[in-house]
């Protein structure tokens, strides 16, 4: 059982001060052929509008990359919308250099903007020698065309709902099952706690019920990102996705699933949904 979240809520707002003091950031891994450090530095700085840096460039192939990309794609295999094609796999296999790019530290107030810029940086990398990209901070990967489409969606978003839609598809794993609970991963990059659903039973659900749980988690994520009240969500609040849908109770819990130095660690914790 996870422990109650240890941070502090800033009175009257949705903003919090995590107990861990951890500040999230995007860590992008880009592979390519003949990646050039000067070019990478220039395009990362321009596309990232400052604050993004090339942390490391390895000018030799990394034999672990196929396995690493497969794991990243596996995290969202249930949704099957990452658009990773045979051409993308060929690009991973043919790489002879690997670059790691860091975003600036992400605060709750800056999260959507930094994550939008991270997509712009991804697109710029792919236009300047990189052939495949994955995110080390949430364990996701997309195919070349999918990354470009999401970057365009984010760049042309006319409102917060459209922007959040593109960013969630880019950076968040919507549901993972650890054998007991279902949880998301990556919402720390958007400045929010992840969502955890504890159904109260270890029995494998019927497909229709599982789809209902996954939908509940996804709707809860969008609620946190776009619709929660200015004063934030309070422990013990009820939540349902429709007037006639099952009621869940929301309580914020610590992120004990990942250590504080793990890129996946969410300092804002999890909003755990339990049957109401």
Q: Both 106 and 60 in a single domain?
A: yes
Q: Both 64 and 155 in a single domain?
A: yes
Answer whether 112's CB lies under 8 Å from 157's CB. Answer: no
- How far, in Å, CA of 23 to CA of 2, rounded? 21
For residue 251, is it within any domain? yes
For residue 19, is it within any domain? no
Q: Both 225 and 243 in a single domain?
A: yes
For residue 86, is it within any domain? yes
Q: Both 39 and 126 in a single domain?
A: yes
* pLDDT value for 20: 85
Q: Both 133 and 183 in a single domain?
A: no
Q: Both 140 and 35 in a single domain?
A: yes
Q: Both 163 and 178 in a single domain?
A: no
Q: Domain count of the chain?
A: 2
For residue 227, is it within any domain? yes
Q: Both 137 and 157 in a single domain?
A: yes
The residue from 126, 148, 169 where one domain ends is 169
Q: Which residues of the chain have pLDDT under 70?
A: 1-2
Q: How many Cβ atoms sit within 10 Å of the Cβ of residue 208?
A: 7
Q: Are strands 140-142 and 97-102 parallel, antiparallel or unpaired?
A: unpaired
Which DSSP symbol is given to 48? T
Q: Both 55 and 117 in a single domain?
A: yes
For residue 2, is it within any domain? no
What are 59's two structure tokens?
Answer: 């000018």
Which DSSP symbol is given to 176? E
For residue 16, is it within any domain? no
Backbone φ and ψ of 260, nearest 5°: -60, -25
Residues 6+ away with beta carbon under 8 Å from 262: none
* pLDDT value for 2: 66
Backbone φ and ψ of 174, nearest 5°: -70, -30
Helix, strand, coil percent content, the chain, rounded in steps of 5: 35, 20, 45
Answer whether 97's CB lies under 8 Å from 33's CB. Answer: yes
The residue from 154, 169, 184 where one domain ends is 169
User: pTM of the predicted model, to two decimals?
Assistant: 0.95
For residue 219, is it within any domain? yes
Q: Both 122 and 191 in a single domain?
A: no
The residue from 169, 191, 225 where one domain ends is 169
Q: How many Cβ atoms sit within 10 Å of the Cβ of residue 49?
A: 14
For residue 105, is it within any domain? yes
Q: Both 165 and 238 in a single domain?
A: no
What are 108's two structure tokens?
Answer: 């709750």
- How far, in Å, CA of 8 to CA of 114, rounded? 23
Looking up tokens 């650890």 gives 178
* pLDDT value for 177: 92
Parent domain of 80: 27-169
Backbone φ and ψ of 99, nearest 5°: -120, 145
Q: Both 224 and 243 in a single domain?
A: yes
């Amino acid at each position: 059982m996870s422990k109650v979240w240890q941070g502090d809520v800033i009175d009257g707002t949705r903003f919090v001060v995590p107990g861990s003091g951890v500040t999230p950031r995007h860590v992008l891994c880009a592979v390519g052929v003949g990646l050039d450090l000067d070019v990478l530095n220039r395009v990362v700085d321009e596309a990232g509008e400052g604050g993004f840096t090339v942390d490391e460039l390895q000018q030799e192939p990394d034999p672990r990359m196929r396995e690493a990309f497969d794991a990243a794609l596996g995290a969202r295999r249930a949704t099957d919308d990452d658009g990773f094609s045979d051409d993308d796999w060929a690009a991973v296999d043919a790489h002879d250099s690997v670059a790691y790019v860091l975003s600036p530290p992400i605060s709750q107030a800056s999260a959507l903007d930094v994550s939008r810029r991270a997509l712009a940086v991804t697109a710029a990398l792919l236009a300047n020698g990189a052939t495949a990209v994955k995110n080390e901070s949430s364990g996701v990967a997309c195919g070349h065309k999918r990354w470009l489409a999401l970057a365009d969606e984010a760049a042309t978003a006319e409102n917060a709902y459209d922007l959040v839609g593109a960013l969630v598809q880019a950076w968040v794993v919507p549901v993972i099952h650890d054998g007991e609970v279902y949880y998301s991963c990556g919402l720390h990059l958007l400045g929010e706690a992840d969502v955890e659903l504890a159904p109260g039973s270890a029995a494998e659900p019927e497909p229709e019920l599982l789809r209902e749980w996954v939908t509940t988690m996804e709707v809860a994520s969008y609620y946190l990102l776009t619709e929660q009240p200015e004063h934030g969500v309070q422990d013990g609040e009820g939540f349902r996705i429709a007037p006639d849908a099952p009621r869940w109770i929301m309580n914020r819990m610590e992120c004990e699933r990942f250590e504080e130095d793990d890129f996946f660690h969410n300092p804002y914790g999890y909003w755990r949904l339990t049957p109401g």
